Amino acid sequence: MPMKLTKTDFIQYLNCPKSLWLLKNAPDEYPHGEFSVFLQKLTREGYEVERYVRLFFDKAESRAVDFQRVFETEDGLFARADAIEALGGGGTALFEIKSSTRVKTDAAHNHIKDACFQVICAERAGQTIDVVSLVHLNGNYERAGEIIPEELLVFEDVTDQVREIEAETAEEVNKALAFLGETAFDRSGCSCLHKSRANHCDSFALFNPDVPTPSIYSLPRLSQVRRTELVANGIFDLLAIPEDYPLTDKQMVVLGAARSGAPIVNLEGIKEFLEGLSFPLYFLDYETYSSAVPLLDRTSPHKHFPVQYSLHVLQEDGTLRHHDYLEREARLPHLLLAQLRADIGDEGTVVSWHASFEKTQNKEMARLFPDHADFLADLNERMADLEKVFMVDYVDARFDGSTSIKKVLPVICPELSYKGLDVQDGASAMDAWQKMVAAESEESDQIASALLGYCELDTFAMVEIYRFLVRLVG
Ligand code: SF4
Query: Concatenated DSSP letters for 1-38?
Result: -PPPB-HHHHHHHHH-HHHHHHHHH-TTTS-PPP--HH
CA of 263 to the centre of ligand 1 (A): 32
d(CA 402, CA 286): 21
Ligand 1 close to Cβ of residue 191 (< 6 A) = yes
Ligand 1 close to Cβ of residue 20 (< 6 A) = no
d(CA 255, CA 260): 9
pLDDT, residue 183, reads 87
- Other CB atoms within 10 A of residue 50 CB: 18
Ligand 1 close to Cβ of residue 204 (< 6 A) = yes
Residue nearest to atom 2 of ligand 1 (CA): 190
pLDDT, residue 382, reads 98
CA of 195 to the centre of ligand 1 (A): 10
Q: Which residues contact 104 (CB under 8 A, 6 or more apart)?
A: 98, 110, 111
Q: What is the pLDDT of residues 182-214, one digit of tens each?
A: 988 888 888 899 999 888 888 888 889 889 988
Classify the phi-psi angles of 356: left when phi > 0, otherwise alpha if psi is within -120 to 50, otherwise beta. Answer: alpha
- Which residues of the chain are under the pLDDT cut of 50? none
Q: What is the pLDDT of residues 257-267, one digit of tens each?
A: 889 888 999 99
Give the helix ranges, DSSP H, for 125-266.
149-152, 159-164, 166-181, 204-207, 224-232, 249-260
pLDDT, residue 35, reads 58
Ligand 1 close to Cβ of residue 192 (< 6 A) = yes
Ligand 1 close to Cβ of residue 201 (< 6 A) = yes
Contact of 159 with 132, CB cutoff 8 Å: yes
pLDDT, residue 177, reads 95
CA of 18 to the centre of ligand 1 (A): 7
